Amino acid sequence: MTHFDLDENGIWLGRVWLPEAEGPAVVTCREGRVIDITAKAGATVRDICEMDDPAGYVAAAEGRDLGALADLLGADPADRTTMHFLAPTDLQAIKACGVTFARSMVERVIEEQAAGDPKRAETIRARIGTLIGDSLRNIKAGSDEAQKVKAALQAEGLWSQYLEVGIGPDAEVFTKSQPMSAVGYGAEIGILQISQWNNPEPEVVLLVNSRSDILGATLGNDVNLRDIEGRSALLLGKAKDNNASCAIGPMFRLFGKGFGMDDVRAMQLDLRVDGPEGYVLHGQSSMSEISRDPADLVRQTVGAHHQYPDGFVLFLGTLFAPTEDRDVPGEGFTHKTGDRVTISNSALGALANTVRYASDCVPWSFGAGALMKNLAARNLL
């Protein structure tokens, strides 16, 4: 498993599993050490996010040294008898934005036109490429230029609902997964056995409290089952929300100490897939090419029209949509079980997970009810 260091200038907030407590601890990382800062005042990540100054609280919080970061990164998340990283979210809703990069929007149109058939995708891809060329680079959703591209595609009979959310005025925001259901660093990440065309989606994930304050960011893998969603956008839930199909981590880097939203806007995410047969895929997703500003995506998610009393995390979408062939010419990339997926960024660290079938991943059993009972038993409520 990939090991990494967290920037010592960062203010980090996350969670680990404590075997002796049979539950989670809220932690930070300082000088390569993982520190348990769980307290009645901040028994959950949600509680800390609702404070007046979450970053200040985390930076000053006293705690117990749990060991070296490298040691926890090497632990097996499937083993409840060992300390290991969890997803850094707890009670927050897990939301995601789709089609926020105009160039990746084309791949969604192709998925839909191909009805989930990777063999047809290459022909459609060539047709669209000839039509619009490089006109999607740096295009802004809702602009006059975006409307011209939309009209050109529709004139060619390539209308798609993805055009509307990709370059129209309103963003696609959906529920990726349930609170407490995401997996963290090192865990297995799940795809459905019936899917024959799927890929990782490396994304920046924002941390937002109930007051709509954007507090920090981390990495996420919004696993995409392209054939299932391509058959019908109404199958989005089946394509996106499955056991272990959402990975977040390793920890949130809170804004402050020279790190903020402008850093998020300039981020480049690197992705590497190491297959069990020796296959290697490299990819990148550059936030500078996003068609909607991250702050606008947050505003479209929360407001007078929709509230989140426990806050939420928001996947910002990805530019990455692999088209190179893995096995069969013309069928592009798809996962194999055993793939090791690593998403990294110098400011946020790395998120590494191994692909399995969702039915073979550890079943999700520790939800909000279990968390409340556990914290009460530990006299933390």
23-56 pLDDT, tens digit each: 999 999 999 999 999 999 999 999 999 999 999 9
**Beta-strand pair 188-191/214-222:** unpaired
Asked whether the whole model's pTM tops 0.75, one would answer: yes
**What's the maximum distance between 2 C-alpha atoms anywhere in the chain?**
64
Model pLDDT, residue 99? 84
- Summarised one tens digit per residue, pLDDT across range 140-184 is 777 887 788 778 777 777 767 777 888 788 899 999 999 999 999
pLDDT above 60: residue 134: no
pLDDT above 60: residue 135: no
Give the C-alpha separation, 293 to 230, whole Å: 26
Model pLDDT, residue 150? 76
Average pLDDT, stretch 339-364?
98
- Contact yes or no for 314/290 (Cβ under 8 A): no
> Is the alpha carbon torsion for 332, 172, 165, 212 positive or negative?
negative
Element containing residue 230 per DSSP (H, E): helix 226-231
Angle (nearest 5°) at CA 236 between 364 and 252:
55
Q: Within 10 A of 101 (CB to CB), how many other CB atoms are there?
A: 26
Q: Within 10 A of 105 (CB to CB), how many other CB atoms are there?
A: 27
Average pLDDT, stretch 300-313?
96
Give the C-alpha separation, 198 to 224, whole Å: 6
Model pLDDT, residue 1? 46
Two structure tokens written together for 378: 């530990």
Look at 135 and 86; give whichever has higher pLDDT: 86
- Contact yes or no for 137/103 (Cβ under 8 A): yes
Look at 82 and 321; give whichever has higher pLDDT: 82
pLDDT above 70: residue 131: no
Percent of the chain that is helix, strand, coil (3-state, to 5): 30, 30, 45
Average pLDDT, stretch 125-141?
68
- Contact yes or no for 248/348 (Cβ under 8 A): no
pLDDT above 60: residue 298: yes
Model pLDDT, residue 2? 53
Q: Does the N-terminal peptide bond of residue 88 adopt cis geometry, omega within 30 degrees of 0?
A: no
Q: For the chain, give the mean pLDDT.
A: 91
- Contact yes or no for 46/207 (Cβ under 8 A): no
Banded model confidence at residue 3, pLDDT cuts 50, 70, 90: low
Give the C-alpha separation, 279 to 273, whole Å: 8
Q: Within 10 A of 62 (CB to CB), how many other CB atoms are there?
A: 7
Banded model confidence at residue 133, pLDDT cuts 50, 70, 90: low
pLDDT above 90: residue 322: no
> Tell me, what amino acid is at 374?
N
- Contact yes or no for 136/319 (Cβ under 8 A): no
- Summarised one tens digit per residue, pLDDT across range 70-106 is 999 999 999 999 999 999 999 999 999 998 887 777 7
Model pLDDT, residue 162? 78
- Contact yes or no for 353/183 (Cβ under 8 A): yes
Element containing residue 300 per DSSP (H, E): helix 294-301
Model pLDDT, residue 8? 92
**Beta-strand pair 349-357/11-18:** unpaired
Model pLDDT, residue 137? 60
pLDDT above 70: residue 136: no
Banded model confidence at residue 123, pLDDT cuts 50, 70, 90: confident
